[in-house]
Structure 1
Amino acid sequence: MERTIGVDLAVDPRATATSEICWSRDGAEVKPPRLRCKDEDLLDLLSGLVSGERAGVDCPFGWPTAFVEAVAAHAGHQQWPGSTGRADHYARLRLRMTDRVADATIRPLTGRGPLSVSMDKLGATAARWAYLADQLAAGGHPVDRSGAGHVVEVYPAGARAVWGLAGTRSAQALLQAAPWLRFEPGVQQAYERNEHAFDALIAALVARAVALGLTSLPRNEQEERAAAVEGWIHLPGPDGLARLDPSAA
């Protein structure tokens, strides 16, 4: 029996949820969601991962390098970077390398790409994650921002798009696409009722895709360097959901 965890992270614990899936050859059992998760709940959950387990967290693991460098220059009363080529520099301030890579896949499907962690309210959620990651590292569980360890960055809206589930957070629609998922009585309804729980469930499925090597990875040295600092979105392929079927393995 193997386990994957999904975390839909928000600034407010009341909007933070987790999901757990237990995988075996007989199927994938979805456990009831945990709602209103506080920092200590998440730290306990993520620090308890063992060999073979993965957790997918819906939150950027870092900020664009160009943004960090620009803010540091401004704080030190140094010349603002990008004084020439302002439009290109502004684009690099807004989006990380992984955001730009994911945008090429997601935008044709949904008409929109990843949000900016540096110039949108998403940055507040990233600040909560930065605290959690620091606490995990202090407890002997450092997070590899590229996703090479137990904990990976995921993007549930993007995963739903490539899986043909864009525009819906329906557990019933998910079950039709993945009939091998098992819900105990009342559990499916719990995911239907709460959008944060549903996104956590998608995050847990993507975490399984990561464990099976079915998500996008940095393609070159430049992307690898960026991923180590800025984080990396692990996006599954269009057939990735079907390939999670335990009976197919």
Structure 2
Amino acid sequence: MRTVGVDLAASAPNTAAAVVSWEGRTAVAAAPRVRCTDLELLGLLERLEPDDRVGVDCPFGWPIPFVQAVSAHAAGAPWPGRGLDSGEHRAGLRLRRTDLLTHRAMGRGSRPPLSVSFDKLGATTARWAHLADELASRGRPVERTGEGPVVEVYPSAARRRWGLGKERSLAELLAAAPGLSCSPKAREQYERSEHAFDALIAALVARAAALGLTPRPSADDRPTAEVEGWIHLPPEGSLPELFRG
């Protein structure tokens, strides 16, 4: 099988993709693709084989309360926060359900994910919405909960769950995952580009999701995840599990 990781940005210069080929207990990471355009990403995601999986570092949707508030404003309807404290109401529009749950799972001292509604990250999600719509028009719809071949991932949180340092280090990753290898040229590219490195982590999380290691939304959370998206977070210390065939 192959897993594809995409570190998506609002534009091509900071977007990278990585492809990892798995065979038994080993995996080989090809040289990363950097400065990926929409056409390049669509070509990569459209050629998936049945067993392939994709991890995308990007929120798949916006918080439902935020969407409702913007829709009310556009329609000239009463603002949902009418009569409430403005600051407290805006705080409730910032994060998705999956962001809050991920922050809780990461424990004390962790930073919450960036807000897709109150940060430039929203532009990245708009790009993903465009790509996902194009994929759907080509017969490859994306299930935002990650039940299909494409899952939402959070590389920095995954690195922490796997016991890797805060700094991106390919040498540390290869030492922790001896079943993973790449050519000297590819290694140099992963070490040079933080976007390529995050794409590689995204590809590894896609493998974790394919093996059923990442928790799916509960029955209560699923309706929200179908709209907002769902971060697939690998369990602590689960990196070796990816290479057990």
Same fold (TM over 0.5): yes
Separation of aligned partners in 2, 1:166 and 1:131: 34
Where do residues 25-174 of structure 1 align in structure 2 (5 Å cutoff)? 25-86=24-85, 89-106=89-106, 108=108, 111-174=110-173
RMSD: 1.3
Unaligned runs of 5+ in 2: none
Deviations 1:189-240 (A, max 9, x none): 210011000000000000000000011211232x100110000000101122
Note the C-alpha offset of 1:105.
2.1
User: Does the CA contact (< 8 Å) of 1:5 and 1:18 recur in 2?
Assistant: yes
Q: Given the alignment of the two structures, is residue 182 of structure 1 paired with residue 152 of structure 2, yes or no? A: no
Task: Write the letter of the residue equivalent to 2:209.
Answer: V
Any idea what SS the aligned residue of 2:227 has?
helix
Structure 2 counterpart of 1:236: 234
User: Does the CA contact (< 8 Å) of 2:163 and 2:237 recur in 1?
Assistant: no
Note the C-alpha offset of 1:19.
0.3
User: Does the CA contact (< 8 Å) of 1:157 and 1:166 recur in 2?
Assistant: no
Task: Write the letter of the residue equivalent to 1:97.
Answer: R
Note the C-alpha offset of 1:91.
2.9
Task: Write the letter of the residue equivalent to 1:238.
Answer: E
User: Does the CA contact (< 8 Å) of 1:216 and 1:235 recur in 2?
Assistant: yes
Superposition TM-score, scaled by structure 2 size: 0.96
Task: Write the letter of the residue equivalent to 1:163.
Answer: W
Separation of aligned partners in 1, 2:153 and 2:54: 9
Note closer, same or farther for the CA distance 1:195–1:154 as it changes in structure 2 (3 Å cut): same
Any idea what SS the aligned residue of 1:108 has?
coil
Question: How many residues get paired?
Answer: 244
Any idea what SS the aligned residue of 2:21 has?
strand
